[in-house]
A and B are shown apart, each in its own frame.
Chain A
Amino acid sequence: MYKIRNLSLSFDGHEAVRSASFDIPRGARLGLVGESGCGKSITALALLGMAPASARVSGSIEIDGQEMAAAPERLWRSYRARKVAMVFQEPLSALNPLKRVGDIIAEPMRLHLRLDRRAARARARDLLVEVGIPDPEARLDQYPHQLSGGQRQRVLIAAALSCDPQLLVADEPTTALDAHVAGRILDLLKRLSETRDMALVFISHDLEAVARVTEEMLVMYGGDIVERGPTAQLLADPRHPYTKGLIEARPRLDALTLRADGAPRPRLASIPGSVPALADLPKGCRFAGRCPIERPACAGLRPAVSVLGPGQRQVRCLAPLLPAKVPA
C-alpha cells in the first residue's frame, strides 16, 4: 500500500532522515524505535505529507501506486483522514478544548464524507463504542477536559478512525499516560488494526510497547534505519550494536531494586554518550563515536544494508553482531 524508497529529509543540508526505504503493506503493524531526535516523528509526518516546511524532501513515497513525495498540499489533503490518519503523543494538546467530543469526532466525517449531523453523530457514537469508551451517548456532549487521559487518547483515536483510514500513524501515543492505561491503549491499537485490517505505524521509545503491538520493527539512529526485521526475532537476537544497546539500556525492574544481600545493584546499562546534533553526525555510520565495536572505517564509510539469513532481516553495519546462542 505504502512504498517508501530512498526517502531523505534534510534541514539546511543536514540529513535528518537518510534514504529510508520500507513498505507498509495493508494491515501490517510496523514499529519505529530509536532515541530522541533520531528522526522518527519527521518520518511519520512525511507519511502524511506533513514534514516541516523547512525540510527538503527527496525520494519517493508511493501510496497505492500514486507518487506523493512531491505532491501538492491539495492532493495530500484528499488522502489525509481518508487514507492515512495520525494519533499524537499528548491528547490534551491535540484536542480543541472548546469543542465537544461528539463534534471533534463528527467533524471529519461531515467534511470529508459529507454526512449530515445525525448520521455523523450516530457514527461518532459507534466509534466511541469501538474504542471502548463506556456510556458513549453522554460522552458525546462532554468537553475534552472532562475526560481522563486515557479516554482523551481514545477519543483522539476515534476521531482518527472516523473516515476509515487504511493506515494509522501513532507517534508515541502512550508516553503521556500511566503504565496501566498505556497498556490498554496499546491493546486497543492492536485490536483496531486487526479488526479493521488497518495498517499501523507505531512509534515509541518503549521496546516492550513495540513488542506488544507490532509484528515488524525498524530501528532508527541518526536518520538511518539501522536494523529491521520481525519484532520478536529482532528483540531476541539484535545484530546491530545500537539495537543491542537499546535493549540493554531498557529499564528493568530487577535492575532497580536493591539486592537482598545488600550488594550494590547492577548499574543500569546505557549507551555511552548521547545523540549528537544533526550537523555533528558522522558522515559514515551514524553510530560511529558511540559504538562499542567500532572499526576505523566506520566513521567515514556508510555501511551497506546486509540481508541476514533467509528471513526479512536487514542490518546496516560493517560488522554485524553474530547470532545469539539459542539456549537449548
Chain B
Amino acid sequence: MRNLPVSLWIGGALVGVIALAALVSLVWTPQDFATVAVSERFQPPSARYWLGTDQLGRDVLTQLMVGARNSLTIALVAVGLGGALGTALGLLAGAKGGWTEEIVLRLADFSFAFPALLFAIMLAAAFGPSFANAVVAIAFINIPVFVRVSCASARQVWQRDYVLAARASARGGLAITRDHVLPNIAAIVIVQATIDFAGAILIEAALSYLGLGVQPPEPSWGRMLSEAQTLLFLAPQLTVLPGLCIVATVLGFNLLGDGLRDLADPRREKAR
C-alpha cells in the first residue's frame, strides 16, 4: 500500500466523494431538485437546507448532487463511446499498418487540431441542445486521442515476440488483436480514459454554461454557474460551490490518471 503513488490517493478520494454524492442522489436527495419555492430563496445553510438555497429557492446541495450525477453520466457515456470507437479504430490501424493506418491517423490528426470545445459547441448548436447531443459531441471529440494512443501502443505490441509467435502459428489478425494486443494496451487505454474524463467534465460544464448541455429542470454545475454569475456579489456561494465541484472533479480525475499511469509504468515516475 505504501508504494501507491500519492496522486492516486488524493485523486481517488476526490473522485470517490463526488461519485458517492452522485450515487446517493439516485436514491435520496435532501430535497426534490425540481421544486421551485421563491419564498425560500437565498436561505442560509440550515438543518433543512444544508448548503442554503439559490435565487429560486432550490436546495443547493440537491442541485450539486444531481448535477454531479448528470456530469458524471455524460462524461462516462461519452468517454466510453468515444474511447471504444477510438480504440477500435486505433487497433485496426495498428494491425493493418500501411495506408489504412495512414488514413486513420491523418483523420485523427485533422480532428485533433480542431479545438475540442469549439467543436462540441458547433455540434451541440447544430443538432440542438440536449443531453444526448452533449454526449455525442463529447464522445466525438474524444475519438482522436484514443485512436492515437491505442494505435501507437498496438504497433509496439505487434512487434513483440509473442505476436510474432502467434502469427507464425497462423493465427489471424482478429484473434491476435483479441488475445494479445487488447489485453496489453488495456492499461494505457484506461489511464487515457481517466485523464479524458477530466476533460469531458470540463467540456460538459462549458456546454451547460452556454445552455447547450443538460436542459432545465435537470440541474448541472455549468448552468448553476451561469445562472448565479449575476449574483456573484449578492450570493457568492452560488457560484463558488459549483465551481469548486468542477475543480475538484477535474483535479481528481487528472490525479487519478497520473497515479494510474505511474502504477502501470513505474519507470515513468522515476524518470521525473
Q: Which residues of A contact B (CB under 8 A)?
A: 45, 48, 50, 52-54, 77-78, 80-82, 85-86, 88-90, 93-96, 107-108, 111-112, 156, 159-160, 162-163
B162 touches A96 (CB 8 A): yes
Which residues of A sit under 8 angstroms from B98, Cβ to Cβ? Answer: 53
Which residues of B sit under 8 angstroms from A163, Cβ to Cβ? Answer: 169
Which residues of A sit under 8 angstroms from B41, Cβ to Cβ? Answer: none
Contact flag A48-B161 (CB < 8 Å), given A53-B98, A96-B179: no
The answer, yes or no, to whether B48 is at the interface (CB within 8 Å) is no
B160 touches A80 (CB 8 A): no
Which residues of A sit under 8 angstroms from B164, Cβ to Cβ? Answer: 45, 50, 86, 88, 94
Interface residues on B, range: 10 to 19
B97 touches A53 (CB 8 A): yes
Contact flag A48-B160 (CB < 8 Å), given A96-B179, A96-B180: no
Contact flag A85-B168 (CB < 8 Å), given A53-B97, A53-B98, A96-B179: yes
A45 to B159, CA, bound (A): 12
Contact flag A107-B169 (CB < 8 Å), given A53-B97, A96-B179, A96-B180: yes
A90 touches B161 (CB 8 A): yes
Which residues of B sit under 8 angstroms from A88, Cβ to Cβ? Answer: 161, 164-165
A163 to B170, CA, bound (A): 11
A301 to B98, CA, bound (A): 34
Q: Which residues of B contact A (CB under 8 A)?
A: 97-98, 159-162, 164-165, 167-172, 179-180
Which residues of B sit under 8 angstroms from A93, Cβ to Cβ? Answer: 160-162
A112 to B170, CA, bound (A): 8
Which residues of A sit under 8 angstroms from B97, Cβ to Cβ? Answer: 53-54
Contacts A/B (CB < 8 Å), 18 sampled? A45-B164, A48-B167, A50-B167, A54-B97, A77-B170, A77-B172, A85-B168, A86-B165, A86-B168, A88-B165, A93-B160, A93-B161, A93-B162, A94-B164, A96-B179, A108-B169, A111-B171, A112-B170
B165 touches A111 (CB 8 A): no
- B133 CB to nearest chain A CB (Å): 39
Contact flag A159-B161 (CB < 8 Å), given A53-B98, A96-B180: no
Which residues of A sit under 8 angstroms from B160, Cβ to Cβ? Answer: 93
Which residues of B sit under 8 angstroms from A90, Cβ to Cβ? Answer: 161
B170 touches A80 (CB 8 A): yes
B180 touches A81 (CB 8 A): no
A89 touches B161 (CB 8 A): yes
Closest to B171 in A: A111
A45 to B97, CA, bound (A): 17
- B180 CB to nearest chain A CB (Å): 7
Closest to A98 in B: B183
A50 touches B161 (CB 8 A): no
Which residues of B sit under 8 angstroms from A94, Cβ to Cβ? Answer: 161-162, 164-165
7 pairs of A and B residues whose beta carbons are closest in the complex: A53-B97, A80-B170, A86-B168, A94-B165, A81-B170, A93-B161, A94-B161
Contact flag A81-B168 (CB < 8 Å), given A53-B97, A96-B180: yes
Closest to B97 in A: A53
A163 to B168, CA, bound (A): 12
B165 touches A156 (CB 8 A): yes
A54 to B165, CA, bound (A): 19
Closest to A73 in B: B173
A160 to B170, CA, bound (A): 11
Contact flag A82-B168 (CB < 8 Å), given A90-B161, A93-B160: no
A78 to B98, CA, bound (A): 22
Which residues of A sit under 8 angstroms from B171, Cβ to Cβ? Answer: 111
Query: Which of A53, A89, A163 gathers most chain B CB within 10 Å?
Result: A53
A82 touches B170 (CB 8 A): yes
Which residues of A sit under 8 angstroms from B179, Cβ to Cβ? Answer: 96
B168 touches A111 (CB 8 A): no
Query: Which of A94, A95, A107 gathers most chain B CB within 10 Å?
Result: A94
A80 touches B168 (CB 8 A): yes
A39 to B49, CA, bound (A): 75
A85 touches B169 (CB 8 A): yes
- B55 CB to nearest chain A CB (Å): 58
Known: A81-B169, A82-B170, A111-B171. 19 other contacts (CB 8 A): A48-B167, A48-B168, A50-B164, A77-B170, A80-B168, A85-B169, A86-B165, A86-B168, A88-B161, A89-B161, A93-B162, A94-B162, A94-B164, A96-B162, A96-B179, A107-B169, A111-B170, A162-B169, A163-B169
A298 to B179, CA, bound (A): 50
- A154 CB to nearest chain B CB (Å): 15
A48 to B171, CA, bound (A): 13
